[in-house]
Amino acid sequence: MLNKDRFLFKKAPILLTGLLAGAYMPLVQAHDPVFGLGPHVLFKDGVEIAPEVHSERAGDTDRSQLGLELTYGLTGDWAAGIDLGYNRVSTATDNFSGQGDTTLFSKYRFWRKDGPGVQQSMSVAAKLKVDTADSQLGSGSTDGLLGLAYGYESRQWYRWAAVRYRLNGENSDGLRRGDKILFDLVGGIRMDRSSYREPDMVWMIELNGETAQRNEFNGSPLSNTGGSEWFVSPGMMWTLRNFAVKAGVQIPLISDLNGNQQATDYRAKLTLEWHL
């Protein structure tokens, strides 16, 4: 018993130093960009509830969506979930609203490296969009998406990079939208360092690019379809413990669309996240 007490007495300063170091070690909070793909995954058995609002305009067409994204952490590196939406489309002559398409998704983090106040990681992501939308509110097809994302997150600086490929299916009318490649480069900064129990703010700037192939009707390409668009996208991320607010707007930078098409005027997004 005496030897055990001497051992604990000798080790106490070391244990105390370790506890104090852990208490004051800067916390790295893992997040994803507003528009781009990030590598963040939910913790094991965690639940994320994320209502979202999307809005965009292209010429005389306005589109908006009220979505609900539910995510479950299968393991510490693997998450899966479902995205439900209610859509509204408004043109110069018509208005439509109702149920949108349902999307199933999953993300797996295959690499992670932690350092003092720094975390780097890479993930692969997959989505499957199922044709569940009401008439005029969806593509009418089943589409898939694969993506690869990298993230660097420190107490002050954030950066992300991602590439995604969207494979679109054919609808019952014989129309197939062109496949699309999406690129994301994102930087972020935390001006003021805060603890977990204090509000936290990160400012971001994204560069988002989209390159689409031409649509096809019964196998024949359509002239006024496809092309590229690039956006510069300022955004922010405000967090308090297990709650976060993310918001941003995509501003057109370059538009190189084929033929006669309405270019995007803007896109905006607001997301609330709860981790349970």
Domains observed in the chain: 28-275 (2.40.160.40)
Task: Return the higher-pLDDT residue of 196 and 130.
Answer: 130
Phi, psi (5° rounding) for residue 178?
Answer: -65, 145
Question: What is the spatial distance between Cα 108 and Cα 147, in angstroms, rounded to a whole number?
Answer: 11
Average pLDDT rounded to a whole number, residues 211-219: 97
Query: Degrees (nearest 5) of the Cα angle 89, 183, 63?
Result: 5
Cβ-in-10-Å burial (0-12, 13-18, 19+) of 276 comes to exposed
Residue 22 pLDDT greater than 70, yes or no? no
| Across 200-229, average pLDDT | 97
Residue 25 reports pLDDT greater than 80:
no
Q: What is the bridge-based pairing of β-strands 175-176 and 200-212?
A: unpaired
Rounded mean pLDDT of 152-181? 96
Q: In what order do the strands lie in the sheet with 175-176?
A: 175-176, 216-217, 220-221
Report the predicted TM-score, pTM, of the whole model to 2 decimal places: 0.87
Read off the tokens for 220: 């024949």
227 or 20: which leads in pLDDT = 227
What gap in Å lies between CA 74 and CA 267, rounded to an integer? 32
Instruction: Show the beta-strand stretches assigned E in 116-199.
Output: 118-130, 143-154, 157-167, 175-176, 180-189
Adjacent-strand bridge partners of 59: none
The whole-angstrom separation of Cα 267 and Cα 155 is 29
- pLDDT tens profile 123-142: 999 999 999 999 889 989 99
Res 153 pLDDT > 50: yes
More confident residue, 22 or 147: 147
**Which pLDDT band holds residue 168 (cuts at 50, 70, 90)?**
very high
Q: What is the SS3 assignment for 155?
A: coil
- 103 in the Ramachandran plot: left (φ > 0), alpha (ψ -120 to 50) or beta? beta
On the 0-12 / 13-18 / 19+ scale of CB atoms within 10 A, 112 is middle
Range with the poorest average pLDDT among 8-17, 61-70, 101-110: 8-17
Could you count the other beta carbons within 10 Å of the beta carbon of residue 109?
Answer: 21
d(CA 236, CA 221): 40
Q: How confident is the model at residue 194 (pLDDT cuts 50, 70, 90)?
A: confident
Q: What is the pLDDT of residue 29?
A: 52
Residue 13 has pLDDT above 50, yes or no: no
Which tens digits make up the pLDDT trace of 235-270? 999 999 999 999 999 999 999 999 999 999 999 999
Q: How many CB atoms lie within 10 A of CB 162?
A: 24
Confidence tier at 50 by pLDDT (50, 70, 90): very high
Instruction: Give residue 27's pLDDT band: very low, low, confident or very high (50, 70, 90).
Output: very low
Supply 18's token pair: 């370790």
Residue 78 pLDDT > 60, yes or no? yes
Helix residue ranges per DSSP H, the chain: 2-24
Residue 200 has pLDDT above 50, yes or no: yes
- 149 touches 126 (CB < 8 A): no
Cβ atoms < 10 Å from Cβ of 81 = 20
Q: Looking at the chain, how many residues does it have?
A: 276
Of 120, 158, 133, 129, the C-alpha closest to 36 is 158
